[in-house]
Amino acid sequence: MTMFLPSRFSASPLLRTLYHASSCASRPRQASPTLCYKSMSQALRSYSSAPLSSSPKFSYHIAASFIAKDRPYDPSTHVFHFNPYNRIQPPRHRRKSSRPESGHDAFFVSRVNESGSVAFGVADGVGGWVDSGVDPADFSHGLCDYMAAVAYEYPSGNDAPLTARKLMQKGYEAVCEDPNVPAGGSTACVAIARPEGVLDVANLGDSGFLQLRLNAVHTYSEPQTHAFNTPFQLSVVPPSVAARMAAFGGSQLCDLPRDADVTHHHLRHGDVLVFATDGVLDNLFNQDILRIASRVMATSGAWNMAANEAVTVADSLDSLTGSPYENNAADGKTKKAVTLQSLLATELVLAAKQASVNTKRDGPFAKEVKKYYPHENWHGGKVDDICVVIAVVSEDAAGIKSKL
């Protein structure tokens, strides 16, 4: 994403048996939350959302992949494997050097305490803040860090379950109070997947998600925009910027978590959830994403797609979604392996990266340009930061057998 004003204008081998603010006005530091201005081991078996005390009906096997727009992509290093047993580091103790190489894009994944739920999502920093001397990554990464911490620490005995919108609100309030984030903004697409197989999503802006089921796009989010290439966005606007705008004209977009589209979805064994920033969605159509994901799912055996037969899901996905670490018998060292979820993520990022620099094939962004500006000679993809979070849904064996 590049602007905050209305004027902003496969190559890798498959699996080999699974190898690889009610108003926007200047505010003091103790801002009201309604305002947006401010002064490994194999024993783990599966890196999923399983609570520490009991096995849920559904588990979520999650990985992410990412790349900044000005960096070459390496699927072996630009990948994240979710481990629910890892502790979430306090956001204000994190260094910029520890951030993933995702540019202005950011993501998070965290278990929701010991509830069996897992929270995850993506955020896309508004690049237009660069013109004001602000690093857009500070807001998007800060927002994701705070949302991860809120989810991880959410009281397990709380009568009110954590919702996606509430998580976005709490993350936004925290980043507004962070003195290390004096200004900035981002979109956000946030989800909480529960052990009973329900997905709660809050989407604000033009990041988004798809739910893939049995070789079909089951559901997907619609982007929220004020105008062409001007998405809804959470913002922190310092008084100096607000004063400059008041003096010279112009306006600053300032949407709130309450403006997010909230949806609820029932999940099934074998569903694939794709959460992505516009670096993916501006370069790949939904059918492109489905084609890539279906190829991976079929090649791995997760989806059975025999000719002239209904698509089915393998009874167990454990061997495909299990621990992303394997022991090397030759030297006794542990190395990263490829899981189904990580391969889905890296294949999608690779395809989006290739499409972004392709000047011949028009993608979704080029289609939108032609719609709003028919005389513009825009062709090909759109170079941008890219980030994808993938969740593969798995139902426990008892639940599957009960349906047979």
Query: From start to end of 44-183, where are the E strands?
Result: 58-67, 79-81, 105-111, 118-125
**54-68, 158-172, 353-367: range with lowest mean pLDDT:** 54-68
Residue 206 near residue 187 (C-beta atoms within 8 A): yes
Q: Which helix (H) or strand (E) holds 188?
A: strand 184-193
Cα gap 119→375, rounded to integer Å: 43
pLDDT beyond 50 at 360: yes
- CATH, domain 42-401, list 3.40.50.720, 2.60.120.260, 3.60.40.10, 3.40.1170.60: 3.60.40.10
Confidence of residue 237 (pLDDT cuts 50, 70, 90): confident
Residue 321 near residue 340 (C-beta atoms within 8 A): yes
User: How many percent of the chain have pLDDT more than 90?
Assistant: 67
Residue 42 near residue 33 (C-beta atoms within 8 A): no
pLDDT tens digits for 164-186? 999 999 999 999 999 999 999 99
Cα gap 276→388, rounded to integer Å: 4
pLDDT tens digits for 75-120? 999 999 999 888 887 776 567 888 999 999 999 999 999 999 999 9
pLDDT tens digits for 8-38? 333 333 343 333 333 333 333 333 333 444 4
Structure tokens at 115: 């509830």
Q: What is the pTM of this model?
A: 0.85
pLDDT beyond 50 at 267: yes
Cα gap 170→158, rounded to integer Å: 15
Report pLDDT for 90.
Answer: 74
Report pLDDT for 44.
Answer: 31
Query: Alpha carbon of 404 to those of 213, 290, 305, 318, 398: distances in Å?
Result: 19, 27, 19, 19, 10
- Nearby residues of 166 by Cβ (< 8 Å), 6 or more positions away: none
Report pLDDT for 131.
Answer: 84
Residue with tokens 């705008």: 245
Query: Alpha carbon of 398 to those of 58, 140, 214, 316, 395: distances in Å?
Result: 11, 40, 21, 11, 8
Cα gap 199→16, rounded to integer Å: 31
DSSP string, 270-322: T-EEEEE-HHHHTTS-HHHHHHHHHHHHHHHTSEE--TTS--EE-S--HHHHB
